[in-house]
Structure 1
Amino acid sequence: MTAFDLGDITVEISGGVATLTLDREPANALDVRTAEELTEFLRKVVDRKGVRAILLTGSGRRFCTGADIAGNAGIAQRSTIDYRFGHDSYTRLFQALWEVEVPVVSAVNGTVAGVGWMLALLADLVVADEAARWTHVFTRRGMVPHAGDPYFLARIIPFHRLNEIALLSDPLTSATLAEWGLVNRAVAAEEVLPTARALADRLAAGPTRSLGVTKQLYRRSLDSSITQAFSDERAAVALISTTHDRREGLLSFKEGRDAQFVGD
């Protein structure tokens, strides 16, 4: 096992899965330094041969309660700051999380608020404590959604549900979000990490490049014309057709056995 830190995120890599745990108790708010280090990790993770899936979670009773305003060099108290760019570190992080080729599973162990929504929901699969509380908070505090929220959440949450989340800002549970199709598994608290790890292990044992390109195709299609989407699809099929795992997939089918993917 390999272990190191990204700001206030602990990283443990084993079995092809990098488990990232935000550890800034009691609030588990995300500060700029940690956001920037996590961004750099996500941008370079494809170069780490030992990482074929990512598991995101939080410590204690909270997953992520938003940006650490108090700890971000007094941003909220500086009258001369240009607020248009005050959250760019978080925007870059969520762009990196959206674009990362490695499959990501979030294990939502507790409270989610503010930018924590994106840290949780931009994962490919979401496992959450069924009783965990989610609050969007922006309009409740007299703000507008930011840090990429209007771009990303509008692509993954149905329109009227998103308005209910953002305009009313009422607390919701993971069980409710599962009913709305935003959480893949809403489970008992003690089952969150085991369930999420099992999914991450399955993804880590899969055809890594195929999974990564599949992610890219779906995300790009949200902003593409039909002509561009079909062009991207043809290019992806051609690219993956030359990989070891594609050949193994075909051969295992012919031989009637389970495929043994290596990630290349």
Structure 2
Amino acid sequence: MTVADDEGLKIEIDNGVATLTLHMPSMRNAFGADVAGDFTQFFRDANVRQDVRSILIRSTGDRDFCLGGGQSKIPTPMPRNPIDYRFVSTPHIEMFKAMWELERPVVSAVQGTVAGVGWLLALLADMVVAAKGSRWTHVFVKRGMIPHAGDSFYLPRIIPFHRLNEIALLGDMVTADTLSEWGLINRLVDKELVQDTALDLARRLADQPTRGIGLAKRHYRRSLETDWNTMLREEMAGQALYTTTADRNEILAAGREGRKPELTGD
């Protein structure tokens, strides 16, 4: 199967919302190293872009959200020695690391089938909107693989442990309805409402004090990786930094003056 020239990651920015559309229909929205690299670069740049205050991740069509890792436009050489397979997932590892560290809020709009690394693309978002009945399969155990691309680090921090074991060790399909019952979905809606619901959330997030919610995101994630003393010191430093932002001072001024704050994301 060949990747078409016009396929890849499509980026649109409007009123502070960056919409990232995974457009790989020939691969059922599975994506390779080149698209992973495009995601990584955007995530790294977004933290300092004034025109990006929230991010919406979606995919083309309603059949598949993402079927995992796939072929690149320029195929990469296959490892000749088993030890070199350690590096096959590097582009996706770097992508999800950048997504995990991203301080801009992210919403995912999920419809259709989710498999493999598609789980991370969907669930590393801060808020998840999913279509009722959409199908999720962890798939690695049934493809002769073990979880990779950071899956074994991130998913235990998102999914309850015994639920994760059921998903990963059996490889059975679950629906978004079940994941919603487990607390993994923010909005479970009809398929026709997924895009509008996700966009509404992204717009609401873009209207918030961008640097403040970015620091909140950072602190919540860091708390999953570090000790109590380090976390409290980071929180104290973040609180001090936040007092220097224009939005924070505008919120205080608006409160004193009895008006709605005009936030700029700075």
What's the TM-score, normalizing by structure 2?
0.93
CA distance in 2, matches of 1:38, 1:70: 14
Are the structure 2 counterparts of residues 252 and 262 from structure 1 closer, same or farther at C-alpha, using a change threshold of 3 Å?
same
SS in 1 for 2:47: helix
Q: Partner letter of residue 187 of structure 1?
A: V
Matched, 1:54 2:55: yes
CA distance in 2, matches of 1:48, 1:36: 18
Equivalent in the alignment of 2:188:
186
* Cα RMSD for the two superposed structures: 1.8
Equivalent in the alignment of 1:34:
35
Q: State which of 49, 69, 73 in structure 2 corresponds to 1:67.
A: 69
CA distance in 1, matches of 2:104, 2:76: 35
Matched, 1:262 2:264: yes
- Percent sequence identity is 51
Are the structure 2 counterparts of residues 163 and 192 from structure 1 closer, same or farther at C-alpha, using a change threshold of 3 Å?
same
Q: Partner letter of residue 55 of structure 2?
A: I
Equivalent in the alignment of 2:214:
212
SS in 2 for 1:150: helix
Q: Is the 8 A contact 2:31 2:72 kept in 1?
A: no
1:28-78 alpha-carbon deviations (Å, 9 max, x no partner): 111110101110111011232111000000001211100005877366x65
CA distance in 2, matches of 1:38, 1:156: 21
- Which consecutive unaligned segments of at least 5 residues does structure 1 have? none
CA distance in 2, matches of 1:113, 1:71: 21
Q: Is the 8 A contact 1:6 1:34 kept in 2?
A: no
Q: Partner letter of residue 23 of structure 2?
A: D
- Matched positions, count: 259
SS in 2 for 1:47: coil
SS in 2 for 1:128: strand
Equivalent in the alignment of 1:8:
8
CA distance in 1, matches of 2:254, 2:166: 48
Matched, 1:148 2:150: yes
What's the TM-score, normalizing by structure 1?
0.93
